[in-house]
A and B are shown apart, each in its own frame.
Chain A
Amino acid sequence: MTGSRLPISPVLITPPLLVILALGLAPLTIVVVWSFWSWDPSTYWIKPDLSLTGYAGILEAGRWTVIISTLVKAFGTALLCLLIAYPTAYAVHFLAGKRLSILLLALITIPFFTSYLIRSFSWRLVLGRTGVLNTWLQDLGIIGAPLDWLLFSNFAVVVGLVASHLPFATFPLLLSMRRVDPTFLAAAQDLGAGFWKSLTSILLPLTMSGIFAGFLFVFVMVVGSSTEVQMLGGAGASIVSVMINDVMRVANYPLAFAISTIVLIVIFGLVLIGNRVFGLASLFEDQSP
């Protein structure tokens, strides 16, 4: 059955487009343009130019390695979040009753009751030398001395990142699962398919847009994060936003804008590829009969 759609009026679409342009594209365009300007010490600001100094700076002092390591952290965190979020979303949507489902959804939002800072800081109390985990392991006789690597390490950073961003993977998956026609799964069962067959043949393909959306949300947020690294990382641990803050403090604006531009290119590329391959847009399509 094909439903009719309301005609789109150019007049009606203009305001939201203007908002998107003003709040989204315009600032990003400015950042890109300014990344080619040069620093003018006489005015303590940048001046119009067509300079690659900012981009060249990325190749100095190992800054490019921070970009790479940030992308790796983001990728790894996003994958881990998906591995945890997918069964969580499945349980909430398919296994829990309506009332329990609401309760579980509420529980998933608990991390947002506190600030990023408090969330990250609290992990120090869990992972530290005198923290809960080390104390527990020593009390059980499993270890004889605290495990230093639990805190101020990449391990701690990843733990903090996953804990902070897990809800952003869970909700898109829930959304995509709710769009799966339950009769498909029922038909699969009727035809003798087991759980894993149903999962891999039907549910995973149909929720691929949610998987990618969850991945993308976490990836983008981790790329822009800083708190977990600053709170839980080792000596001088860095991530893109920490690096940008560092260069902004010393008025190296072209470099800061160049770093931002590189990151923007990566993220936009990821969005375009993902939409083409995984159909991200389908997550938001109207499928009403």
Chain B
Amino acid sequence: MTKHSRPFSPRAHSNVQRRDFLKLMGAGGIALSAGGLGFASRLAAQDAATVAFWATATLDIGDKWPEFAKQAGVTPEFTDNGNDLGPVIARLAAGNANDLFDIGGFQGGAEKELARQGVIIPWDTAKIPNYESLWQWAKDIPYLKHDGKQYGIPAVVNADSIIYRPDKLGKIDSYGAIFDPKLKGRVAMEDAWINSAIFTAMYLKESENQPIADPGNLSESELGLVMEFLIKHKSDGQFRTFWNGWEQGVQLVADQEVDAMTGWEPIVYEGRKRGLQVEYAAPVEGYEGWGNNMVLLKGAGDRGVADTAHKFVDGLLGGFYGCELGQARGYLVPTDNNGVYAKAHPDEYKPGEVEKLAEHVKAKFAGKIYWQNARPDNFQLYEEWWQKLRNA
């Protein structure tokens, strides 16, 4: 599965620590003053509007959460779930996650399974006014609904394809480049079956007319077809490596270990910062769309904070969060509210850039999209095939 985690930066880490320290000092002072002036009860009341938010680091906006809380009226307590759905699901089903957290922010695809397990409960979109502002194609993302109920709400979306060096390869517009024998040893894919399998399936379906219905949810025979194709290419030495994580992905491009690889768009931006010519392909086969979706954990309902959770999600779609996330990571909250907020606060966020990001992502979704599915029906079989690939 995709791990869209925060890029590692020692300088940023140091600054974050310093800012946290200063905030702590400031918060301490405010607390003392408030207590002394008899505002303790108000603080206690304010603390009641809090949700425990358990999500991938992709969704974290760090020191901007206080501003979010001020606007949305809900303070999130963010916890990074590591973006690995296996342990997340296990902890929900057989652990204590529902005792600790109220809202989950997960890669799309597991909603059905989680709903079946009874560990998540459906949203009431009528309690989320900003839900209607979501773009229709975002509302239509598969896996968000189960048995007619809304279990997932997309908070962040983007679409992945190929990172490549145009100065070496010219224009690339097909996943065929990843499997081109002429590029043997100069390409890479991600060490994650959920992404590499779907990219390969898209290529085989669209460019080689193989009988594949849904690249994001392969049947047993389709999976065999896809994985045998990958195994053959691996055995032939096609792939320099399978990358794993942000730092590895960036380094492969920056140190010129590969000329093309399937991967995340932010790597393109990072490569450009390092002075390289790097582009993101618009493959004829389409993009792999993905979403980090909000799910309402059963525990929130049990604890009576479901309404607060709805209010929190409404805040995520209100514009400020989208502007901040877009600026920090280049990812998109699929709503026009981002642009509205930027126009109202041009000193904080540049309206032009917010609009540019929106149009960029919209353009991807205007074409062919196959949705990532972090929990396909045959998910255990995917892993078995991935072992065969590893050992080939």
Residues of A within 8 A of B (CB): 43-45, 60-63, 65-66, 121, 124-125, 128-131, 148, 151-152, 230-231, 233-238, 242-243, 246-252
Instruction: Decide: A44 and B90 in contact? CB cutoff 8 A.
Output: yes
Interface residues of B in 21-43 (CB under 8 A from A): none
Asked whether B391 lies within 8 Å of A246 as measured between CB atoms, the reply is no
B383 pairs with A247, CB closer than 8 A? yes
Interface of A, helix, strand, loop or mixed by DSSP: loop
Residues of B within 8 A of A66 (CB): 387, 390-391
Q: Are B117 and A152 in contact (CB under 8 A)?
A: no
Q: Which residue of A lies closest to B188 (CB)?
A: A235
Interface residue total, chain B, C-beta cutoff 8 A: 41
Q: How far is the CA of A149 from the CA of B185 in the complex (A)?
A: 11
Q: How many angstroms from the CA of A44 to the CA of B114 in the assembled complex?
A: 10
Q: Are A44 and B191 in contact (CB under 8 A)?
A: no
* Residue B380 CB within 8 A of the other chain: yes
CB atoms of A250 and B383 under 8 A apart:
yes
Whether A236 and B384, one on each chain, are in contact in the complex, defined by CB atoms closer than 8 angstroms, is no
User: Which stretch from B127-135, B140-148, B248-256 is at the chain A interface?
Assistant: B248-256
Docked-complex contact B84 and A249, CB < 8 angstroms: yes
> Is there contact, CB below 8 Å, between A236 and B94?
no
- Within 8 Å by CB of B257, from A63, A151, A251, lies A151
Residue B379 lies at the interface, judged by CB distance under 8 Å to chain A: yes
With A and B bound together, what is the CA distance between A233 and B248 in angstroms?
12
Our pick among B117, B238, B241 for the contact of A44 (Cβ within 8 Å) is B117
Q: Given A230-B191, A230-B244, A236-B242 in contact, is the A130-B255 Cβ separation under 8 Å?
A: yes
Q: Which residues of B contact A152 (CB under 8 A)?
A: 240-241, 257
Partner of B387, one of A43, A63, A130: A63
B389 at the interface (CB under 8 A from A): yes
Report how far A247 CA is from B188 CA in the complex, Å: 23
Contacts of B360 in A (CB 8 A): none
Q: Give the residues in chain B near A235, CB-CB below 8 Å.
A: 188-189, 234, 238-242
Q: Of A60, A237, A248, which is within 8 A of B87 by CB?
A: A248
Least distance between B104 CB and chain A CB atoms (Å): 15
Closest-by-CB residue of B relative to A124 is B251
Q: A63 vs B191: C-alpha distance in the bound complex, in angstroms?
A: 17
Complex contacts, B89 vs chain A, CB 8 Å:
44, 251
Contacts of B185 in A (CB 8 A): 148
In the complex, are the beta carbons of B255 and A234 less than 8 A apart? no
Q: Which of A45, A65, A236, A250 contacts B382 (CB 8 A)?
A: A250
CB–CB B87/A130 < 8 A? no
Q: Does any Cβ of A come within 8 Å of B65's Cβ?
A: no
Complex-state Cα separation, A62 to B382, whole angstroms:
14
Contact of B391 with A251 in the complex, beta carbons under 8 Å: no
CB-nearest residue of chain B relative to A246? B383
Would you call B352 an interface residue if the criterion is a C-beta within 8 Å of the partner chain's C-beta atoms? no
The yes or no answer to B392 lying at the interface (CB within 8 A) is yes
B234–A61 contact, CB under 8 A? Answer: no
- Pairs A–B under 8 Å by Cβ, sample size 16: A43-B94, A61-B385, A61-B391, A63-B387, A66-B390, A121-B251, A148-B185, A148-B240, A234-B240, A235-B238, A236-B234, A237-B241, A238-B390, A246-B383, A251-B86, A251-B89
CA gap between A128 and B258 in the complex, in Å: 11
When chains A and B are docked, how far (Å) is the Cα of A235 from the Cα of B383? 16
Which residues of B are found within 8 Å of A238, using beta-carbon distances? 387, 390-391
CB of A246 within 8 A of CB of B94, answer: no
CB of B388 within 8 A of chain A?
yes
Complex Cα distance, B391 from A65, in Å, reads: 8
Closest Cβ neighbor of B382 among chain A residues: A250
Contact B387 A45 (CB under 8 A): no
Contact B257 A128 (CB under 8 A): yes
The docked-state distance in angstroms from the alpha carbon of A131 to that of B251 is 12
In the complex, what distance in Å separates the CA atom of A66 from the CA atom of B379? 21
- Quick check: B257 and A129 within 8 Å, CB to CB? yes
